[in-house]
Structure 1
Amino acid sequence: MNISFDNLPEDKKNKIIQSALNEFAAKGYERASTNVIVENAEISKGLLFYYFKSKKGLYIFLLNYVIPIMYQKFYEYADMNITDFFERLKNWQVAKLTLFEKLPLETKFLIKAFTDIPKELKNDILIIYSKYTQDGFRMIFDNIDYSNFRNDIDKQKAINTIIWTLESYGNKYMKENLDEHGNLIIKKDVILNDISDYIEILKYGVKE
């Protein structure tokens, strides 16, 4: 991104960002039109490419713009004082649902980005996803009390198994519960009941 973008008045920056988010969230990376973006942002295409170099540059900028906002809001909604691992997981899911409801455009944009990854951007997106996921998990699981875990199991492997299960469930839910416009349909009671069931199974196992 050209540093000149940072020097724009906030209202102009926000108009460009919102125009781009709307277009990419509605159509995905490959079908999104920079012509539509500049028309709605009321700037020239030359200026858009001056600021971001390319369509890819704009998309990468948006990912690095949106994800920190989502994490910031998540930490506002989540209770990080809960030290019990399983209770924090439940609280985490409630915080995520609140986040999705409060920021529907940003949620729609990220769902498109991470569930239908453009081939041209696959490596870039996976690097960004990995970075923020690692940072997020490190903070989410800070100050957790693991004393109720069995001593005869590898705690890190147990945590990984639980996280993979919940992430897989979340990804599956997001793919299967989009309306005709690509907006996420949030069935809060269904999601929380499913998550509680998974956590109980993982917490106590399946063997009698």
Structure 2
Amino acid sequence: MISAPAAQSRESARQASGQFGTQPHQEAAGVTLVPNAPSDHRLQELATARESIFHQWNDLRDTAPDSPLFETIDALHQRASVQLAAAAVLTRHPDAETLVVRENEDGENQYDILRLEGRSGSIDHSVDSPLIEGELNPGGPDLDESLWSLNLKDDGWALGIAEDISDPRNGKMFRIDLAAALGTTISTMPAAHR
């Protein structure tokens, strides 16, 4: 609440010079404000965390590939990979909601990107797009490489963050909820993989 003398002074100033009056301004065109898009700093933090887990995974793969610890680190690596992929996509496409991946058509043990979806449908699905080529953020993480970390034979990585939309024509497919994947932490990893 403003005092009466202050309100009177403000009104006098408005009438005299217009300094405190309402000023018309053009709204910014083509600008979308999205508070949940990760920053470049956050993207780098996620890439560093995933890299650290990858080194543990790589060491265990060589020394104890059949150990329960390797299974745990493998599950962590997959979740960190999906989280990094989600951050990379949302940095470039803050209006995106889901990323659809499918089993590699050439029989390689990996998932490939099929399309990116937003509220109004497909955002990017052209074969030559930077998204499909994995070159989403120049100098940033390779999206394809992140998704290649996912195990085709164990869908544990998808629990709580992706929907299985497989069909006989397209094979094994998942729709990854980008917000859920970005919100994933090691402490929210599915209990079956801890």
Q: TM-score range by the shorter chain?
A: 0.3 to 0.5
The answer to which structure has the higher helix fraction is: 1
Greater share of strand:
2
Superposition TM-score, scaled by structure 2 size: 0.34
- Using structure 1 for the length normalisation, give the TM-score: 0.32
Structure of larger gyration radius = 2
